[in-house]
Structure 1
Amino acid sequence: MSETNAPTPAQKTALAPDVRRLDERAARAWTERMAVRPLGDGRYAVDSQSGATYVVDLTERSCTCPDNQIRHNRCKHIRRVGIEITTRRVPAPGKRAASCDACGIETFVPEDDDEPHLCAACRLENGDVVRDREADDRLVVVRVTPERADEVLIEGVGETVADYPTNADYPADDLVAEVVYLSDLTRSASPRRYSFPLSRLERVDDAEIVDRDLREQVPAATQE
């Protein structure tokens, strides 16, 4: 659906270039045994093949190893951190590893993000157009809440989202998404919001459904 899915085994395996064409430090960055651990704030611990542990700070483009500190070279440890980030073994600066709150797979999320942790396949954002799997209606996402379907009461009904009859086939612990009907956007500047289990919604190609002018209005029309 719309940070990149969590890495698959294939994505986690770095496809090394022809190391014979690389300079010595680049070749060692690709071939030596190293373990990279994120420390937060753009810093990474690198356990070197020699047994020593160094700290790489990508913000400062520095490493605590002698090659960087004394000779001021872009050392193999800095290069290795770059490789690990590119191949999605470790999160980039500003990100951290987390389990997707919807499907449980590992993904990377902003370090200071208080919103639900969602992978690319499960993430829906304000203004996204989705299809109701049950009624085939088109809806526009306002937000995905951190509340579960069995915790959210439907206003005027007295039942939770999970207890609502048409939601019986969806998990009771599903996250709840607030949406508005696409058709309501054309009739009201403040359309009524509805609560749906997240897995009941399927992203669709809004370019085929919403004309250009309306798509430009969707985020503003659905903001809190």
Structure 2
Amino acid sequence: MTHPEHTPASLPATASKRTFPPAGRSGRARRARVEPMVVRPLRDGRYAVETDGEDGGYVVDLDGVSCTCPDHRRRGARCKHLRRVALEVTERLVPPPEERTAVCAVCGGRTFVPLAFRGPALCAHHDHDLGALVADRETGDRLVVVGAAGDRADRAETDDGRLVADYPSNAAYGAHEPVFRVVYLDSLRRDAPVRQYAFPASRLRPLRSGEGGGDADPSPAADGTAPPTTA
């Protein structure tokens, strides 16, 4: 019986071998790019590498800079398998040793998270760092993220007992999305209590460097509804 630590953690058994352009390389560096290989992350942070014409493939330890192939074991060379794993990690095709593959809770796309991570996984398009400036896609108002992704929009309640997903202004966003807590940027400049709000992850758009926007006002919207507040 195969130990789970030595089994692939992400790629299906039918994954096809890929190649990369030679990019002017020679020797092992070239072979690492042009030879068809499959790199499979293992549950112990190592990688199984399969290539054409090699029986059973080899196991690469990227942190330990080792490979079970004869080229590395006998010659101590930085073999083509080590180089290929490093290349695929750099290209974000496989997770680095301290991370694992996960599915974005918003779009279902592939992302990488720390091995011990247990919260909702989000891809780079839908994750927001604490303190990040973002914009409300509905109004263009500028906001500051003050709380990490939490409950789903159809489970997170606001101060008035309503679910975030039940607000009409959130109808275009998935009820399954985790919510972020934010404050209006303009409210931080006022001598008044700062109120927090909760938005589905994809309703928040990261602000580009130097991007402007209208002054935000944490007052109810024109239709008489206010953005949902956190519990």
**TM-score, normalised by the number of residues in structure 1:** 0.76
**Change beyond 3 A, Cα 1:78–1:190:** farther
How far apart in 1 are the matches of 2:149 and 2:211? 27
1:64 corresponds to: 68
- 1:24-103 counterparts in 2 under 5 A? 25-49=28-52, 50-103=54-107
Say if 2:148 is the partner of 1:144.
Answer: yes
User: What is the aligned counterpart of 1:127 among 121, 124, 131?
Assistant: 131
Q: Which of 183, 191, 196 is matched with 2:186 structurally?
A: 183
CA 1:41 to 1:114, structure 2 compared with 1: closer, same or farther past 3 Å?
A: same
Whichever residue aligns with residue 63 of structure 1, its letter is C
Distance 1:134-1:26 versus aligned 2 partners, 3 A rule: closer
Q: CA deviation at 1:199?
A: 2.0
Matches within 5 A, 1:3-14: 14=20
Question: Are 2:163 and 1:160 equivalent residues in the alignment?
Answer: yes
Runs of 4+ residues over 6 Å off in structure 1: none
Gaps of 5+ in 1: 1-11, 211-224
Deviations 1:8-47 (A, max 9, x none): xxxx86332235xx12x22322233322111145411112
Paired amino acid for 1:48: T
Q: Give the CA deviation at 1:72.
A: 1.1
Deviating more after overlay: 75-84 vs 184-193: 184-193
The match for 1:18 is: 24
Instruction: Give the 3-state SS of the residue equivalent to 2:163 in structure 1.
Output: coil
- Give me the whole-angstrom Cα distance separating, in 1, the residues matched to 2:101 and 2:31: 27
Unpaired runs of at least 5, structure 2 = 1-17, 214-231
Secondary structure class of the residue paired with 1:140? strand
CA deviations on 1:91-143 (whole Å, 9 max, x unpaired) are 22222221111111112222222332111111111111122223332111113
Distance 1:147 1:60, change over 3 A: same
Q: Aligned partner of 2:78: which letter?
A: R
1:176 is aligned with what amino acid? V
Greater RCO structure (CA 8 Å; 6+ sep): 1
Give the match for residue 227 of structure 2. none
Change (3 A) 1:205 1:111: same
Q: What does residue 217 of structure 1 align with? A: none
Whole-Å Cα distance in 1 between the matches of residues 119 and 169 of structure 2? 27
Q: CA RMSD in A?
A: 2.4
> For the residues of structure 2 that align with 1:89 and 1:174, how far apart are their CA atoms?
25
**Closer, same or farther: CA 208–47 of 1 in aligned 2, 3 Å:** closer
Q: Which amino acid in structure 2 is aligned with residue 99 of structure 1?
A: V
CA distance in 1 between counterparts of 2:19 and 2:111 reads 16
Q: Which has the higher helix share?
A: 1
State the TM-score, normalizing by the size of structure 2.
0.74
Q: What is the rounded CA distance, in whole Å, between the counterparts of 1:97 and 1:29 in structure 2?
A: 23
Distance in 1, matches of 2:97 and 2:36, equals 22
Which has more strand, going by share of residues? 1
